Amino acid sequence: MKTAFKFLGIVTMLAMVLGSSGCEYYNRLVTLRQATDRSWADVQNVYQRRADLIPNLVRSVEGAANFEKSTLTSVIQARQQVNKVQLNPNAAPDSPEALKRFQQSQDQLSSAVSRLLVVAERYPELKSTENFRDLQTQLEGTENRIAVERRKFNETVQEYNNATQTVPAVFYAKALGFLPKPYFTASEGAEKAPQVNFNSMIPGAAPTVTPAATPLSTPLMTPPVPIHSPTP
């Protein structure tokens, strides 16, 4: 009988220790996930700011004589595509595929806007207008802010993922629904500035532009390699 009571006491103490540890790890994971969600909301905010600026940019450029229509069309279409690829603005995505589609649409819009600004260099009357200059400055500042917020998001995701994939928290994380989060990745060619070829131009023609994927933004850090492969 004494042995049974002793065994029961040991089991009870072990359950209390594990329960206390479980609460501690759960609270930490909740805190880290909230930080990740907050960082994701900041990313969404700067992307929305850019989307709100683009209609004004298009209207200011449309008034320029003989402005390259295909460049304008690409910006409009890229913005429409962004509107089709929407993610929850209040919770960081769990699906790498969903984040990849979101990033691709946003990078295409960055590239289209970059082409437009480069082509605009051929239109002195456009560059001289105060409205266009203000929009250009705001867009370039927004692109830089996007790069900053994406980098911050990757940092918060790294801390969260490390917490969910290291012992002993890993034993609690999956059971409690704390799944790894995907990272933003640097776009291919993001380190290259757009190329403008004036050598083959004929009078009055727009320059040939070879844009980088996101030339206005600072290249993002390469996401750290998680300890375990993320579970979609």
pTM across the whole model: 0.72
- The distance in angstroms from the start CA to the end CA of the chain is 50
Task: Compute the distance between CA of residue 149 and CA of residue 32 in angstroms, rounded to an integer.
Answer: 17
Supply angle C-alpha 213, 195, 116, rounded to 5. 65
Task: Compute the distance between CA of residue 102 and CA of residue 96 in angstroms, rounded to an integer.
Answer: 10
In 38-51, which positions are buried (b, 16+ CB within 10 angstroms) versus exposed (e)?
Answer: ebbbbbbebbeebe
Instruction: Specify the pLDDT at position 41.
Output: 97
For residue 213, list its beta bridge partners.
none
Collect all residues with Cβ–Cβ distance below 8 Å to 231 and sequence separation of at least 6. 174, 179, 180
3-state secondary structure of 20: helix
DSSP characters over 190-218: TTSPPEEE-TT--TTPPPEEE--SSTTSP
Structural domains for the chain: 24-210 (1.20.1440.20)
Which range has the top average pLDDT, 3-12, 24-33, 59-68, 75-84?
Answer: 75-84
pLDDT tens-digit profile of 149-202? 999 999 999 999 999 998 888 887 888 889 999 999 976 554 444 443 433 333
Angle between helices 2-62 and 96-119 (to 10 degrees): 20
Is residue 206 very low, low, confident or very high in pLDDT (cuts 50, 70, 90)?
A: very low
Q: How many CB atoms lie within 10 A of CB 147?
A: 21
CB 46 within 8 A of CB 142: yes
161 vs 203 pLDDT, higher one: 161
CB 115 within 8 A of CB 197: no
CB 207 within 8 A of CB 197: yes
